[in-house]
Chain A
Amino acid sequence: METILGRFRNLIVLAAILFAQIIGLAVQVKRPAQQGDTRLIRVWAVSAITPLEKAVVNTQQFFRNTWFNYVYLRGVRRENRALRAQLDQMKIEQVRLKEDADMARRIQTLLAFKEQYIDSSVAAQVIGTSGSDQSRVLYIDKGSQDGIRTDMAVITPNGIVGKIVQVFPGSAQVLPINDQLSGVGVALKNTRLQGILRGAPNGTTTVQYVMADERVVPGEEVITSGGDRIFPKGLPVGKVVDVSPGKDLFLNIRVLPSAQLDRLEEVLVVTKVSEKAPDTQDLGPIRASDILAQRLPSLPSQPQTDANGNATQPAADAAGAATKPAGAGTVAGSAGTSPAAVPGTRAPGGTAKPTTASGTTAASTGAANGSVARKPVSPPMAGNAASSPASTSGAGTVTKPPATGEAEVTRPKPVRKAPDENAPVPAPTPAQPTPATDNPQR
C-alpha cells in the first residue's frame, strides 16, 4: 500500500488538487438557465440521482396512462361536449379581454411614463483589467468609500460602458457591455425597435430579439431604452454596423459601441438617477391650432430690459403660447436641448439636470451644453424649446448673466388659454433676425 502511494504520489497529489478545484468550481458556479441560479454541485448531484427516479416515475406513468387513456374512459364523451361549450364561451370572453388589455396598455404607457435624469455621478479612473481574453471586466479606482454600489451605470461622454458588478472599499469591478455576460436594454433611435444588447466571447456587441421582418439599416444609432433599470433612457450606445438574419426569427444586429471600450481611461459612474414624471397637471386639452402655431414660423419677441439693463422674459410669442416669467434678469433665447433628448450633453458633466437645472449646473456640463444654450433662435421654433420633448408645452428660456457667463435653463409652464372655437389659426409670420442679446457670439 505504501509502495503504491509512494509510486503514484505525484499523480495522487495532482488528482487531489484538481479534484479540490473542481469541487470549488461546482460550489461557486450557478447554472443561470432553466434551473434558476442553481449551484453546479447541486446540478451534478441531482443529475446523478434523477435517472433512477425518472425510471421509477416513467414506469408508474406508463401503467397509469395505459389505464386511464385506453381502459377507463367512462364519461369522457359527455365531458368533451361540456368542454367544447366552455371553449366557445372563453373565445368570446377573450376578445373582450384583449380589448381591455390593449386599452390598459395604452393608459399605462401614458400614465407610468417617467423621464430619467442623471442626478449625480462620480468620475473614476480605469486602473486594471482581468488580464484575460475570456473576461473583459475592468477595475476602477472608486469603490464603496466613494458611494459606488453594484448595478450602477458606468458611462463616458461618448456612450455607455457597462455596470458595476462588484464593489470593494477602494475599487470596483465593471462589467463592460461587450462582455458575454452583459445585457443592456436598448432601442434603435429612428425605428424605436427595442432589443437587448449582448456581448459576445470575441468582444463584439449585438442587439438581440428584434424580429426578422423589421427593417434595420446599418448606421442607425442605438440608445438605451431604460428597460434594464440600470442605464437611464436615451444614452448613446453605438451604431448599427451590420444586420444579418439570426436564429429563431430574430435579426442579428451588430453594433459598434460609441465608447471606445478597449481604450478607456476615465469613466463616470452614475450614482444617482432620479425619475420625474411628466408634468401633466397644468396641461389641459391642447387645441390643434396651438400645436400648429407653435410649429409654424413666428416672430420672436423683442427682449425687454429692466432698470439694471438685464433682459427680461418677453411677452407671449406670436403663436399665442404665453409663458410664465422665468425670473428677473432672463433673456429669451433658444432653449437648451433637453438632456433626455441629447443625453450625451449631460453625461460629461454628470451632474447636469433637466431643463430646470440651475445655471451653475448647466455651465458645468461643459462645452456641449454651452454650445447648445448659445444657439441663436431658429425661425421655426422661435422662442420655444429647440428640440426638447416639452416643446409643445412651453417655451424654454436661457438666462445668461453677463457677469458670470453661466447659463440658466428654465422651462416655464404654459398658461392655458380659454377655449376659443372661433379663434383663427395664426398666419405664419416671416422670421426676423434674432436680437443681438440672444446670441452672445455676436
Chain B
Amino acid sequence: MTTPTMAFRGSLTSRDQIAVYEFGWPAVIFIPLAAIAIQAFLPVRLRFFPILDLPMMVVIFFAVARRNPISGCLTGAIIGLLQDTLAGPAHPIGMYGIADTIIGFAASSLGVKIDTENHGTRFLLTYIFFVAHQGIYFGVAHELLRQAVQWSWPQVAISALANAIVGLFVYGFLDRFKQK
C-alpha cells in the first residue's frame, strides 16, 4: 500500500505545500458539467472559443488538488467521455477520454511532487498538459484510428498559451470550492 510518506518521497516542495483538498459532491458533479456545457454552447457566439479546453482545465484542477492518481484517472476518463459524447461522427467516444485520463493521471502524479498553488506553476502545468493533451489526441486519431488530422505547432503553441492564461483565472475561481 502506498503510504503518505511514500507518496511524498521525492517531492520537490515541503510537506506543508502538498495539501490534499477535497470537494463537496455538488462541486464534483456540477463543475465538470458546467465546463462541458460552456465548452459546447459558447462557440456558437464566440468563434475563438474552441481553442480553449475548459474540461481539460477542470481535469487538471481536480487532479492536482486531490493528488490521487486513481482519482485523477477516473475524473479525466469521465469528463473526457462526456466531452466525447457531444462530438460528431468523426469523433468516436473515447478520444478525449483517453487523453484526459492520461492528463488526469499525470497531473495528479505531478501534483504530489510539486507545489501547484503557485500561479507560475499552474501556468506551466496547463501549457505543458495542453500540448500533451493535443499530442495524445493526435496520436489516437492519426495512429490508432487513421483519421486525417493535422498537427500544427504554431496553432498548438498559441492554443496552449491561451489555455494557460485562461486557466489561471479558472483555477482562481475553482479554488473557492476547495475543502481541506
State the interface size on chain A (CB cutoff 8 A). Answer: 43
Q: Interface on chain A toward B: helix, strand, loop, or mixed SS?
A: mixed
CA distance A264 to B148 in the complex (A): 25
Q: When the two chains form their complex, are residues B105 and A173 in contact, meaning their CB atoms are under 8 A apart? A: no
Q: When the two chains form their complex, are residues A165 and B44 in contact, meaning their CB atoms are under 8 A apart? A: no
- Interface hub of B40, B47, B74 (most chain A Cβ within 10 A): B40
CA distance A7 to B44 in the complex (A): 47
Smallest CB gap from B42: residue in A: A131
Smallest CB gap from A6: residue in B: B1
A289 contacts B by Cβ under 8 Å: no
CA distance A136 to B44 in the complex (A): 11
CA distance A6 to B3 in the complex (A): 11
Q: When the two chains form their complex, are residues B87 and A29 in contact, meaning their CB atoms are under 8 A apart? A: no
The interface bits of chain A over 144-172 (1 if a CB of B lies within 8 angstroms of the residue's CB, else 0) are 00000000000000000000011000000
- Interface hub of A14, A131, A166, A179 (most chain B Cβ within 10 A): A131
B90 contacts A by Cβ under 8 Å: yes
Q: Which of A1-59 contact B (CB under 8 A)?
A: 6-7, 9-10, 13-14, 17-18, 21-22, 24-25, 28-29, 31, 40
Total of A-B residue pairs, C-beta within 8 Å? 127
Q: Which of A285-321 contact B (CB under 8 A)?
A: none
Smallest CB gap from A125: residue in B: B44
Q: Given A6-B2, A14-B105, A21–B97 Cβ distance below 8 Å?
A: yes
Q: When the two chains form their complex, are residues B150 and A18 in contact, meaning their CB atoms are under 8 A apart? A: no
| Residues of chain B with a CB closer than 8 A to A93's CB | none
CA distance A288 to B145 in the complex (A): 61
B107 contacts A by Cβ under 8 Å: no
Q: Given A127-B44, A135-B87, A29–B105 Cβ distance below 8 Å?
A: no
Q: When the two chains form their complex, are residues A14 and B102 in contact, meaning their CB atoms are under 8 A apart? A: yes
Q: When the two chains form their complex, are residues A13 and B69 in contact, meaning their CB atoms are under 8 A apart? A: yes
CA distance A21 to B105 in the complex (A): 15
A433 contacts B by Cβ under 8 Å: no
**Which among B41, B77, B89, B144 is the interface contact of A175 at CB below 8 angstroms?**
B89
CB distance from A134 to the nearest CB of B (A): 6
CB distance from B180 to the nearest CB of A (A): 23
CB distance from A366 to the nearest CB of B (A): 25
Q: When the two chains form their complex, are residues A181 and B40 in contact, meaning their CB atoms are under 8 A apart? A: no
CA distance A128 to B147 in the complex (A): 24
Q: When the two chains form their complex, are residues B144 and A22 in contact, meaning their CB atoms are under 8 A apart? A: yes
CA distance A181 to B89 in the complex (A): 8
Q: Given A18-B102, A181-B89, A29–B145 Cβ distance below 8 Å?
A: yes
CB distance from A115 to the nearest CB of B (A): 31
Q: When the two chains form their complex, are residues A135 and B88 in contact, meaning their CB atoms are under 8 A apart? A: yes
CA distance A24 to B94 in the complex (A): 7
Q: Given A14-B102, A18-B102, A25-B92, A133–B50 Cβ distance below 8 Å?
A: yes
CB distance from B54 to the nearest CB of A (A): 8
Q: Which of B137-172 contact A (CB under 8 A)?
A: 137, 140-141, 144-150
B65 contacts A by Cβ under 8 Å: no
B73 contacts A by Cβ under 8 Å: yes
**Which among B49, B51, B90, B101 is the interface contact of A21 at CB below 8 angstroms?**
B101
Q: When the two chains form their complex, are residues B88 and A22 in contact, meaning their CB atoms are under 8 A apart? A: no
| Residues of chain B with a CB closer than 8 A to A14's CB | 69, 73, 101-102, 105
Q: Given A6-B2, A21-B97, A137-B88, A13–B73 Cβ distance below 8 Å?
A: yes
Q: When the two chains form their complex, are residues B89 and A165 in contact, meaning their CB atoms are under 8 A apart? A: yes
Q: When the two chains form their complex, are residues A29 and B92 in contact, meaning their CB atoms are under 8 A apart? A: yes
A202 contacts B by Cβ under 8 Å: yes
| Residues of chain B with a CB closer than 8 A to A18's CB | 98, 101-102
Q: Interface on chain B toward A: helix, strand, loop, or mixed SS?
A: helix
A130 contacts B by Cβ under 8 Å: yes
CA distance A180 to B96 in the complex (A): 18
| Residues of chain B with a CB closer than 8 A to A136's CB | 88
Q: When the two chains form their complex, are residues B50 and A129 in contact, meaning their CB atoms are under 8 A apart? A: yes
B109 contacts A by Cβ under 8 Å: yes
Q: When the two chains form their complex, are residues B74 and A17 in contact, meaning their CB atoms are under 8 A apart? A: yes
- Interface hub of B92, B140, B148 (most chain A Cβ within 10 A): B92
B83 contacts A by Cβ under 8 Å: yes
Q: Which of A229-279 contact B (CB under 8 A)?
A: 262-265
Q: When the two chains form their complex, are residues A131 and B83 in contact, meaning their CB atoms are under 8 A apart? A: yes
**Which among A40, A134, A202, A264 is the interface contact of B137 at CB below 8 angstroms?**
A134
**Which among B40, B77, B91 is the interface contact of A128 at CB below 8 angstroms?**
B40
| Residues of chain B with a CB closer than 8 A to A138's CB | 44
Q: When the two chains form their complex, are residues A126 and B88 in contact, meaning their CB atoms are under 8 A apart? A: no
Q: Which of B35-72 contact A (CB under 8 A)?
A: 36, 39-44, 47, 49-51, 69-70
A218 contacts B by Cβ under 8 Å: no
B12 contacts A by Cβ under 8 Å: no
A132 contacts B by Cβ under 8 Å: yes
| Residues of chain B with a CB closer than 8 A to A201's CB | 148-150
CB distance from B64 to the nearest CB of A (A): 15
Q: When the two chains form their complex, are residues A40 and B145 in contact, meaning their CB atoms are under 8 A apart? A: yes
**Which among A10, A28, A130, A166 is the interface contact of B105 at CB below 8 angstroms?**
A10
List A residues at the B interface (Cβ < 8 Å). 6-7, 9-10, 13-14, 17-18, 21-22, 24-25, 28-29, 31, 40, 126-139, 165-166, 173, 175, 179-181, 201-202, 262-265
Shortest 4 CB-CB contacts between residues of A and residues of B: A137-B88, A131-B39, A10-B69, A135-B87
List B residues at the A interface (Cβ < 8 Å). 1-2, 36, 39-44, 47, 49-51, 69-70, 73-74, 77, 81, 83, 86-98, 101-102, 105, 109, 137, 140-141, 144-150
12 more A-B contacts (CB under 8 A) besides A25-B145, A28-B92, A40-B145? A17-B74, A17-B101, A18-B101, A21-B97, A25-B140, A28-B94, A128-B40, A131-B50, A135-B88, A135-B91, A137-B87, A180-B90
